[in-house]
Amino acid sequence: MKPIRMASAAVALLLALTACGTTRAAEPDAATGTGTGTGGGTVTVFAAASLTGVFTQLGKDFEAAYPGTRVRFNFGSSATLAQQIVQGAPADVFAAASPATMRTVTDASLADAPVTFARNRLQIAFPKGNPARVDGLKDLTDPKVKVALCAVQVPCGAAAVKALDAAGLKITPVTFEQDVKATLTKVELGEVDAALVYRTDVLAAAGKVQGLDFPESGKAVNDYPIAKLSKAPSGEPAGRFVELVLSPKGRALLTGAGFELP
């Protein structure tokens, strides 16, 4: 009986070791950018305001792929977010609306090498029905047309300056807003006749505003870089979120929202 008991104990030990060996952190699927298994902790993502819709969905997908892991977002002006990171705000991932704002972080040695994951261009946005009869960029120079622009230090404002310079035009806006969402809100509320905002934001506000393409927008296309921060509190999960953004699933969501791919 003694040899039988020893053999049974050996089999039980082998089964236990085998079970332990199959429990590991989830690995992202190469095709979808998602994984299965257990997670944990919080991934804090600082992202440009124009990414709100796409990244909110990606956050839900990430949490579903890694049960127990929470994704927390801080959306806003890329310039403001970059300054917050440099000043010590705890974050894991930074997705900016321009290389210039990303450089604020990389020049401080606070991020891994960034990767461009999307591009965006401007449209002229106006309220439904186009009451001011805006038909092109030149119409925004009319003093009777109330225009909102992003502040020049934020990416959508810098892009507007480039587009207007390319057209040889100068306009006097009635307001400068701190990010693209705030600028579009002025149009939605009917407080201005038009604004220069990203095409993706016009699409996201479908039914509330209308958008008009203009040729000079091609001279002011913004590249969107993303990077894991070098002192990311979450560690490995931060890299997984970046992988999800760069995955086919992430690219599909971005193009569906009107972004262009690099």
- pLDDT for the residue 179: 93
- pLDDT for the residue 183: 97
β-pairing, 41-48 vs 69-76, is: parallel
- pLDDT for the residue 221: 96
- pLDDT for the residue 39: 53
Structurally, at CATH architecture level, domain 122-219 sits in 3-Layer(aba) Sandwich (3.40)
Q: b/e map of 1-22 (b: 16 or more CB within 10 Å)?
A: eeeeeeeeeeeeeeeeeeeeee
- pLDDT for the residue 31: 37
- pLDDT for the residue 150: 97
261 Cβ contact list (under 8 Å, min separation 6):
118, 119, 251, 254, 255
Predicted confidence (pLDDT) per residue in 75-108, tens digit: 999 999 999 999 999 999 999 999 999 999 999 9
- What the block records as the tokens of 181 is 């969402």
Structurally, at CATH architecture level, domain 40-119+223-256 sits in 3-Layer(aba) Sandwich (3.40)
Q: b/e map of 239-260 (b: 16 or more CB within 10 Å)?
A: bbbbbbbebebbbebbeebbbb
Predicted confidence (pLDDT) per residue in 182-205, tens digit: 999 999 999 999 999 999 999 999
- pLDDT for the residue 8: 42
Q: Give pTM, 2 decimals.
A: 0.82
Distance CA 257, CA 62 (A): 18
- pLDDT for the residue 207: 85
Q: Which residues of the chain have pLDDT under 50?
A: 1-38
Domains of the chain by residue range:
40-119+223-256, 122-219
Beta bridge partners of 175: 148
- Are 40-119+223-256 and 122-219 in the same CATH fold? yes
